[in-house]
């Protein structure tokens, strides 16, 4: 039986989604049915469809008491909303149904594993928050919370492990049919660690050990873990809070971390080899992955960041989007990511410009930061819902350009720039003039090795976002854009002659 709280949320979302015109949303990136969205949750395949749940506050475009929103898709690009899956309606999750994961049970039922948040007054009169892991079982639409929740209570974790920061369970099934679950937690020194639990039925869980540990290196609390094997290596994804920048890595405050190592299946032991950030842009967090039927590991993330997510107009009817799903690989000891190949079936109106010379004198200047002059445009290269490949090379290697700028989402006033600096091996994204009225972070630089001044990029624009993949996916930079949809110009400029190859499609 669905609770009154869930019934109300379902009624509300059904009524209020109607007030959001389709053009006011991204075309193929999932946004909340109404209100606020953060982390992807329960990303899985169930009954031959992709299911994606999400942290959801239907009643406001700001974070609030968390529900699980729900959508399904056949291709990970066209999503259909289903009714909200869970609401904060039990004593153990009354203050939030936080992030988690999903799996199909052998009998065909769908198991959701999530964090229940409960605040209560403790002995000294202080209000304290407790987080426990809970389950709900259902048929892909309706879910029943388990009557003996929580299934991983704070009583089972060893002394010294935080009972307040104990969340975001990630479940997987091993080849022998048993289950494992990683839960994010904080150690005594306040730094993040991942706790491993084991189960024979997905319902009753035993604590095993600390699976991975921050040791004071990468931020504080580690949120939203994922674990999987890929291309012969073992990977942990997590999203740490309070990260310190290191060189060009980890500039996001709440950042993303990919630990690459090995895994001993018999003893459930992960050995870390090296780490990197997952995305080098501004808006990417809390990623989860699935394994598709044809064996691809696909990642999706929340296309936002906590430091700027609050700085928007709360009167908007929706806020928050997922990234494009990305196929991931490990190559040369690095994480590679590219848009899922299904996006190719959305391509229309192919435009190609081969070997085009962009003359060096055409340096874009924004007079008073406003009017664009000397911009180079190319026939039919424009749009806000596009898939564009760009190869840049210096015309003369002895006259290397210092700075090549691609500006997107432009009109005379607004633009967002991707700036290529081969002499420094730097690519910068800059959305200062994207129409934002907030003094939040608008720029990010990544260190990307150029090849004698050459570099490749694939750019996906979907109305209110840009996702740039460099050098066949070795680096990704993601940012949301507030720019009015009518600004669809694309401009080029460089201080020395450059040759470009461009292939561009509209996505429909
Ligand atoms: C990460 C996170 C999770 C938590 C959820 C709450 O973005 O803080 O750790 O479960 O969001 O909405």
Ligand 1 centroid–CA 98 distance in Å is 6
Q: Check: CB of residue 81 under 8 Å from CB of residue 17.
A: yes
Name the range with the highest mean pLDDT among 115-129, 246-260, 287-301: 287-301
Q: Is the CB of 221 under 6 A from ligand 1?
A: no
C-beta of residue 342 within 8 angstroms of C-beta of residue 460: no
Ligand 1 atom closest to Cα of 254?
7
Compute the distance between CA of residue 443 and CA of residue 382 in angstroms, rounded to an integer.
22
Question: What residue segments make up the domains of the chain, in order of their start?
Answer: 4-339, 348-507
pLDDT tens column, 338-351:
999 999 999 999 99
With contact defined as beta carbons under 8 Å apart, do 211 and 189 qualify?
no
User: Does residue 478's CB lie within 6 angstroms of at least one atom of ligand 1?
Assistant: no
Percentage of the chain surpassing pLDDT 70? 97
- Say what the pTM is: 0.96
Assign residue 402 a region (left: φ > 0; alpha: ψ between -120 and 50; beta: otherwise). alpha
**Closest listed residue to residue 473, CA positions, set 344, 324, 341, 337:** 337
Q: How many helices (H) and strands (E) in the chain?
A: 2, 34
> What percent of the chain lies above the pLDDT cut of 90?
91
**Predicted confidence band at 375 (pLDDT cuts at 50, 70, 90)?**
confident
The domain defined by 348-507 folds into Jelly Rolls (2.60.120)
Distances in whole angstroms, Cα of residue 205 to Cα of each of 166, 178, 200: 15, 11, 8
Please report which confidence band the pLDDT of residue 365 belongs to, taking 50, 70 and 90 as the band edges. Answer: low
Average pLDDT estimate for 224-237: 98
Query: Strand 49-57's sheet: what is its strand order?
Result: 79-86, 67-73, 49-57, 35-46, 318-319
Residue 312 has pLDDT above 90, yes or no: no
In the three-class reduction of DSSP (H, G, I as helix; E, B as strand; rest coil), residue 379 is classed as: coil
Confidence of residue 123 (pLDDT cuts 50, 70, 90): confident
Residue 374 confidence class, pLDDT cut points 50, 70, 90: low
pLDDT at 368 (0 to 100): 47
Judge whether residue 75 has pLDDT over 80: yes
Q: Which tens digits make up the pLDDT trace of 417-440?
A: 999 999 999 999 999 999 998 989
- The region of weakest confidence among 173-187, 236-250, 371-385, 462-476 is 371-385
Q: How far is CA 335 from the centre of its chain?
A: 15
Active-site residue numbers? 39
87 pLDDT more than 90: yes
DSSP 83-140: EEEE-S-SGGGTT-EEEEEEEE-TTS-EEEEEEEEEEEE-TTS-EEEEEEEEEEEESS
Residues with Cβ < 8 Å from 213, sequence gap 6 or more? 187, 191, 192, 193, 194
How far CA 99 is from CA of 105, 201, 204, 442, in Å, comes to 20, 21, 19, 28
What's the average model confidence in pLDDT over 138-152?
98
CA of 133 from ligand 1 middle (Å) equals 13
Q: Is the separation of the CB atoms in 143 and 137 below 8 Å?
A: yes
Nearest ligand 1 atom to alpha carbon 184: 9
Ligand 1 touching residue 71 (CB < 6 A) = no
DSSP state, 16? Answer: H
Count of CA atoms in the C-beta half-sphere (13 A) of 422: 21
Q: How far apart are CA 88 and CA 59, in angstroms?
A: 13
CA distances from residue 137 to 46, 68, 110, 114, 134 in whole angstroms, order as listed: 13, 14, 6, 11, 10
Question: How much is the pLDDT for 332?
Answer: 93
- Strands 404-410 and 489-494 turn out to be antiparallel
Rounded Cα distance, 364 and 50, in Å: 44
Do the beta carbons of residue 57 and residue 36 sit within 8 Å? yes
CA–CA dist 286, 305 (Å, integer): 9
Q: Tell me the C-alpha distance between 334 and 223, whole Å.
A: 22
CATH of region 4-339: 2.115.10.20
> Which of these ranges, 5-14, 85-94, 241-250, 321-330, has the smallest mean pLDDT?
241-250
Å from CA of 97 to ligand 1 middle = 10
How far is residue 352's CA from residue 502's CA, in Å, rounded to a whole number? 6
How much is the pLDDT for 167? Answer: 98
Residue nearest to atom 7 of ligand 1 (CA): 39
Confidence of residue 497 (pLDDT cuts 50, 70, 90): very high
């Amino acid at each position: 039986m669905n609770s009154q709280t869930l019934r109300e949320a379902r009624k509300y979302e059904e009524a209020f989604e109607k007030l959001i015109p389709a053009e006011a949303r991204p075309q193929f990136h999932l946004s909340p049915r109404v209100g606020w969205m953060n982390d992807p949750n329960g990303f899985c395949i169930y009954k031959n469809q992709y299911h994606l749940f999400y942290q959801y506050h239907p009643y406001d475009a700001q974070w609030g008491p968390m529900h699980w929103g729900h959508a399904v898709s056949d291709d990970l690009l066209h999503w259909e909303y289903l009714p909200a899956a869970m609401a904060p309606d039990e004593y153990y999750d009354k203050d939030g149904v936080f992030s988690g994961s999903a799996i199909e049970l052998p009998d065909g039922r769908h198991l959701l594993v999530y964090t229940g948040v409960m605040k209560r007054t403790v002995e000294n009169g202080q209000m304290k928050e407790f987080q426990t892991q809970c389950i709900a079982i259902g048929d892909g639409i309706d879910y029943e919370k388990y009557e003996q929740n929580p299934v991983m209570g704070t009583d089972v974790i060893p002394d010294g492990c935080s009972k307040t920061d104990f969340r975001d369970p990630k479940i997987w099934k091993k080849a022998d049919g048993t289950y494992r679950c990683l839960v994010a937690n904080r150690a005594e020194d306040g730094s993040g660690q991942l706790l491993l639990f084991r189960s024979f039925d997905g319902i009753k869980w035993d604590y095993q050990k600390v699976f991975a540990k921050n040791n004071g290196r990468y931020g504080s609390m580690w949120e939203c873990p994922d674990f999987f094997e890929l291309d012969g290596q073992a990977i942990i994804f997590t999203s740490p809070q309070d990260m310190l920048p290191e060189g060009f890595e980890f500039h996001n405050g709440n950042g993303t971390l990919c630990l690459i190592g090995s895994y001993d299946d018999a003893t459930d032991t992960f050995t870390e080899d090296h780490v990197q950030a997952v995305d080098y842009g501004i808006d990417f967090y809390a990623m989860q992955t699935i394994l598709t039927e044809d064996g691809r590991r696909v990642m999706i993330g929340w296309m936002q960041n906590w430091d700027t997510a609050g700085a928007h107009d709360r009167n908007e009817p929706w806020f928050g989007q997922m990234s494009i799903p990305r196929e991931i690989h490990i190559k040369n000891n690095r994480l590679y990511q590219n848009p899922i190949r299904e996006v190719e079936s959305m391509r229309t109106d192919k435009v190609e410009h081969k070997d085009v010379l962009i003359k060096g004198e055409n340096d874009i200047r924004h007079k008073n930061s406003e009017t664009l002059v000397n911009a180079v445009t190319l026939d039919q290269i424009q749009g806000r819902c596009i898939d564009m490949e760009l190869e840049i090379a210096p015309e003369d290697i002895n006259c290397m350009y210092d700075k090549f700028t691609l500006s997107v989402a432009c009109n005379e006033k607004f633009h967002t720039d991707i700036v290529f600096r081969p002499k420094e091996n730097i690519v910068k994204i800059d959305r200062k003039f994207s129409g934002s009225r907030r003094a939040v972070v608008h720029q990010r630089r990544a260190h990307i090795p150029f090849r004698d001044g050459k570099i490749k990029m694939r750019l996906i624009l979907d109305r209110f976002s840009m996702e740039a993949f460099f050098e066949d996916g070795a680096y990704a930079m993601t940012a949301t854009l507030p720019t009015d949809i009518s600004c669809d110009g694309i401009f080029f400029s460089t201080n020395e002659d450059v040759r470009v190859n461009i292939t561009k499609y509209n996505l429909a």
